[in-house]
Every structure is written in C-alpha cells, then in structure tokens.
C-alpha cells in the first residue's frame, strides 16, 4: 500500500497541486491551438463528452466540467444558440432534459479533435509510447480510486 509522507506532499511536489497546474496549463495550451475556430476548449470538451455519451444532462455536464449548474446552463445556451447542441425534453416528463449534439456539433468535435490530440502530442513528444500508455493507465487508476474513496461527496464547483 502506497503512503505519502508530509515531505512527499511539499507544495512543489503535492499531487493535487500538480494535477491542478496540469489542467490549467494544458487547458490554456490547447485553447491556444484552437485558434480561429470560435470554440473554447471547455466548449469542445462539453460537446465531446455529450457525443461520447459520458454525460447526458446538464447536471452531469456541470459535474464533469467542475462548474456550477448555472455556468453549465450558460455554456449549453451558447452551444445551443450556435446550433451545436440541443436540449431534448422527454415526452414522459418535461422536467427531464437530455443533451444531444447536433450534426454541426459532431462535425466540430471531429474537426477540432486533431488539434487537441496534436497539442497533447507536443507535450509528450519526449515520452516513449510505453511511458505515455503507462501515464494514462496510472491516471485512470488514480481517478477510479479517488471516485471510489470520495464516494458521494459533491464535487468542488467553480464558475466557468
């Protein structure tokens, strides 16, 4: 069983800090690669997660992105206005809102995907294929463990 010491979690090496910094640095870097496509990285992630069925409603999208439900509503409004995403209110219960990516939204996801992948490839250029695969495997395992341990704790939400 792995155990961190206080020294292991010094500010410069704290796992939480490194993960937050990685998220912020990579979000800004990928955003810079999206250039003139008039879509933010967060909007692209929203479309991508709905396209892949990872999220299906506004609440799930808010949790996935770590934003407030109000921020998720504004994000959905923008994507809906642009014709990239639709809200689908069920016939059985109009309170239930499902999200669906439009054909234009799907085209946008797949058109920008190479830019996102290339940005990550720039960062891992010095890694071997095995190191990159191991990094992803460790992150998948870490996320699963964190979700298991945290259980039903509400996620920390931030304004988008």
All domains of the chain in start order, with CATH: 16-150 (1.10.10.10)
Directed axis angle between helix 103-123 and helix 15-34, to 10°? 120
User: How far apart are the C-alpha atoms of 47 and 133, rounded to whole Å?
Assistant: 25
pLDDT of residue 152 exceeding 80, the answer is: no
Look at residue 157 in the predicted model and tell me its pLDDT: 58
Which residues are CB-contacts of 113 (< 8 A; sequence separation ≥ 6)?
A: 48
113's tokens: 């995907």
State the pLDDT at residue 36.
82
Task: Identify the pLDDT of residue 153.
Answer: 63
Average pLDDT over the chain, rounded to whole? 89
* Structure confidence by residue, pLDDT tens digits, 83-114: 999 998 876 666 778 999 999 999 999 999 99
Rounded distance, CA 86 to CA 34, Å?
23
pLDDT tens digits for range 27-68: 999 999 998 888 999 999 999 999 999 999 999 999 999 899
């Amino acid at each position: 069983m792995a155990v961190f010491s206080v020294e292991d979690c010094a500010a410069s090496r704290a796992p939480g800090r490194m993960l937050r910094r990685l998220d912020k640095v990579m979000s800004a870097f990928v955003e810079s690669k999206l250039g003139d496509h008039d879509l933010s990285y967060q909007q692209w992630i929203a479309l991508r997660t709905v396209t892949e069925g990872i999220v299906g409603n506004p609440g799930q999208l808010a949790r996935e992105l770590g934003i407030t439900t109000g921020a998720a509503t504004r994000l959905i409004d923008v994507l809906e206005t642009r014709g990239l995403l639709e809200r689908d209110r069920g016939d059985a219960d109009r309170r239930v809102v499902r999200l669906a990516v439009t054909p234009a939204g799907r085209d946008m996801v797949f058109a920008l995907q190479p830019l996102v992948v290339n940005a990550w490839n720039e960062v891992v250029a010095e890694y071997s294929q095995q190191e990159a695969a191991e990094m992803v495997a460790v992150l998948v395992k870490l996320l699963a463990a964190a979700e298991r341990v945290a259980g039903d704790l509400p996620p920390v939400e931030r304004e988008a």
